Each structure stands twice: as structure tokens, then as C-alpha cells.
Homo-oligomer: A and B are copies of this chain.
Amino acid sequence: MTAWRVLFTMLTILVTTGTCAAESPSEIRWVNATSLRLEGQGWPGETRPFRRLPDRAEGKVPDKVWELSGNCAGLAVRFVSDSSEIHVRWTLSAPFTMNHMADTGISGLDLYVRRDGGWRWMAVGRPDGVENEKLLVSGLPRERRELMLYLPLYNGLTRLEIGVPAGCLIEPAPAWPEGTKPIVFYGTSIVQGGCASRPGMAYPAILGRRLDLPSVNLGFSGNGKTEPEMADLLAELDAAVFVIDPLPNMGAVPVEERINYLLNVLRRKRPGTPVILVESYGNRGEPARSGRRPEDTSVNEEMRRAYQKAKPLWGGLLTLVEGRTLLGEDCEDTVDGVHPTDLGFHRLADALEPALRKALGR
């Protein structure tokens, strides 16, 4: 009996290897990512495949916001494959580096696999330049699995292909169950994912995995200013919940007025959709002479006023998460006082998850 099992296993390996093997790079079958399930787009099907805002936003939102909407933060490709190896090749929009964030986060790819009812990290694609081709993972058991590949946080793509050995299965992942709505995150570089080590460690990505929901990242580095035009665009989205986290970019703009506008437009156009307002945790570096805690900033005070005013109208659908709860007391969770490291993003996700679960009735 045991001998038969061994023989059977060996035959199975031979057969499956025979139908899906790569002995030279030319045998890889490359599939355009846009033919798979591209997720994290609020406005799918526009002319630019990896952009976060719709074509008509150009000229309507500030130029810098439009430009940043070409960064792929939060976009992910979900697909099914039975291959023992996954290859990727990607072309970046332009060379771009920052001295406080790893290139893997800025321009890399990040692969997860659905396992044991959740998502487990699998492999990272480390970029070497504008053109990249990598074997992400090999030696996997030959069985059908669902994979999710996150795209670069601070760069755009002009090409993304996923490769498997000829004869292996690769197809779009199943659609979400009918009626599934995404979590929509709006805000600053912190929402966009600066300075995560990998695209999957931006906090909207972590929370999307934890809650197993699609996640739309509308973080715009330095430009999360809650302009009325941006508020109107947000209200176009049929979200499960809106997470509004723009304050660190709003020091020079009328916070209360803009948050009021945003809340009004969301309540009018998306009645019944919960909204979570996120305070700023301030700068975690050594506080200057004022003696104020870093999170006690005037932008927080202004948003609290907007929240208090709106709250009675929202019937429990409006939540405020306080800045002091977002990061650790040790002040070790940012790289520069402002941008979370993976430690900071993990803590941000921990801090926001209960508010999200409550808003989603889970």
C-alpha cells in the first residue's frame, strides 16, 4: 500500500511537472495584469490602466493630486494559478527614490497568498531600475491557489505582466460576492504608504487583508487637502466605509470648513455609509518648547469641532479616532517623526481595526 502511494505520488509529480514546466525563460507564458483582476481602483475601466483617479479628474483636482494619482498605491492584481513558480516583469513610470523609504516600497511588487481563511505574505519583487524582471517564488506545491500582487506605492507602471511556465493555469481570481463594497481611504502620504518597506504594509492594504475586503487607497503624498473637488469625487464611490485621514497635510487650509463640506456631501450622496475621521498623531520627534503632546495640534481641534457639529445628524454612522491612540507611546514607530515604518503601520492598523469592525457591523 505504501509502495503504491509512493509510485502514485511520483507519477502525479511527473505528470503535473510535464504539463507545466519552465526549462528556459522562453517557456514562460506572460499574461498582462490588466487581463486579470485589477483591484483597488475606485474608478475601474478608465483609459490609463494603473491610475487611481478617473480621466475626468484631470484639471479638476490640483495638478499635483492628478500626478500622484499615477502612483499605484493600493492597486493589486488578484489571480489564481496552480504554478510552482511566479514570475513578474514590470516597467516603472520613471526612476524615483527617497532617502527614507526602501525601493521595495516605492517601486516594488508584493505577493500574498490566500491561506487558512486569510492572506499570508509570500514574496517581494525588488526593483533594480525602470525595467524589472524577477522570479518571485518557486518550489511551490502544484495546486490551485489565489494570489494577490500589490503594485508600487510611490511609482506608476507602464507595464505589468505575470508569468508562469507554459501549460500552467493563470486566470483572474473570482469576483467578490455580489454587493461587496470597498473600504475607501482618503488622505496623505501616510495613507499612500510612506514609508512602508513593501506595498502590502501600507495601512489600507493591511486593513483590507484583515477585513478581507477590497481597499481603495486615495492617499496623496503632501496633497491630502480635502479640496471640495476631491470630496465630490469621493462621494461618487459606493464604499462600505470611508476612512478620512488628511489632517497632516491641512495645516495651511481651512480644516473645519473642508471637513464640513466633505461630511455634507458624503451624507447627501452616500446616506447610510459610515465615515471614520482620523485625527493626526502629529510629529513623533522630541516635542519643542511648547510642551504640547505631538497629537494636540490645531488641525485636530478643528476637525473635532466639525465632528461634534455633524455627529447628531449621523445617527451613529460617524466616528472619530483620536490621534493619541494611533501610534505607540515609545515614539519608535516612524522613520522621521511623521512617516510610519512597518512597525508604525502595524500599530495604525491595530488602532483603526476596531473602529472599522464596528462601522461594518462585524
Q: Which residues of A contact B (CB under 8 A)?
A: 84, 97-104, 108, 113, 120-124, 126-128, 137-141, 195, 197-198, 200-201, 206, 284-286, 288-289, 330-333, 335-337, 341-346
Report chain B residues within 8 Å CB of A124.
100, 335-337
Which single member of B99, B104, B121 contacts A100 (CB below 8 Å)? B104
Question: In whole angstroms, how far apart are the Cα atoms of A99 and B346 in the complex?
Answer: 22
B195 near A286 with CB under 8 A, answer no
A197 near B99 with CB under 8 A, answer no
A140-B288, A335-B198 known; A99 and B126 CB under 8 Å? Answer: yes
A100 near B197 with CB under 8 A, answer yes
A286-B113, A331-B121 known; A128 and B103 CB under 8 Å? Answer: no
Number of copies: 2
Question: In whole angstroms, how far apart are the Cα atoms of A105 and B332 in the complex?
Answer: 14
Chain B min CB distance to A79 (Å) = 15
Report chain B residues within 8 Å CB of A141.
289
Chain B min CB distance to A197 (Å) = 4
Which single member of B140, B335, B344 contacts A102 (CB below 8 Å)? B335
Question: In whole angstroms, how far apart are the Cα atoms of A84 and B331 in the complex?
Answer: 20
Chain B min CB distance to A347 (Å) = 9
Report chain B residues within 8 Å CB of A333.
342
Question: In whole angstroms, how far apart are the Cα atoms of A138 and B283 in the complex?
Answer: 13
Chain B min CB distance to A256 (Å) = 27
Question: In whole angstroms, how far apart are the Cα atoms of A321 and B290 in the complex?
Answer: 45
